[in-house]
Amino acid sequence: MKSRLLIQRALIYTVLIIAVVAFLFPFVLLLFNSFKSNAEIIDSPLALPTSFHFDNFKIATQEMNYFGSFANSLIITFVSLIFIVIFSAMAAHYFVRNNTKMNNLWFFMMVAAMIIPFQAIMIPLVSIYGQKLGWIQTQPQLTLMFMYLGFGSSLAVFIYHGFIKSVPKELEEAAI
């Protein structure tokens, strides 16, 4: 019985190790090739680098304006998160404390909006905001912030709704 269990575990670990190697191989290959020159990559993409070239990283950061793009993404994400947290907390509080049929309908519409994947409406959004309104060309950061607010607020309202429901109303009245 013990030998059967040992063989079963060995088989499971062997399959897991093969899966890990299969998943990590492209990343390791990419890492090794990032230290090679272009000629070395073309000659032998699977070989280890003969010498380490850090020029590829310098060229990539300069050509892509990596740090500027990173700062821009950081600002867009930070501002969007602040708005999502503030507006979603207020909306969830209103939905929980004012229990009407209309509020329930709005809440269920927000919950239903979570099941729509972004990829399904990405092309219509880009065509509307990009071509017809021209917002993506003129104000790309502001447009992205609005999109993040629209897509992130439904999940945030749902989470806040569950939290605020757990706080007794009497506790709020006592605080007031």
Cβ contact 92:157 at 8 Å: yes
47 φ, ψ (degrees, to nearest 5) = -80, 160
Q: What is the pTM of this model?
A: 0.69
- How is the chain split into domains, by residue range? 2-62, 66-175
Rounded distance between C-alpha atoms, residue 110 and residue 152, angstroms: 10
Kindly report, residue by residue over 98-150, the tens digit of the pLDDT.
889 998 999 999 989 888 887 788 777 777 777 777 776 677 788 788 888 88
Sequence-ordered list of residues with C-beta below 8 angstroms from that of 129, at least 6 positions apart, any chain:
135, 136, 143
Rounded distance between C-alpha atoms, residue 40 and residue 48, angstroms: 10
**DSSP structural state of residue 54:** -
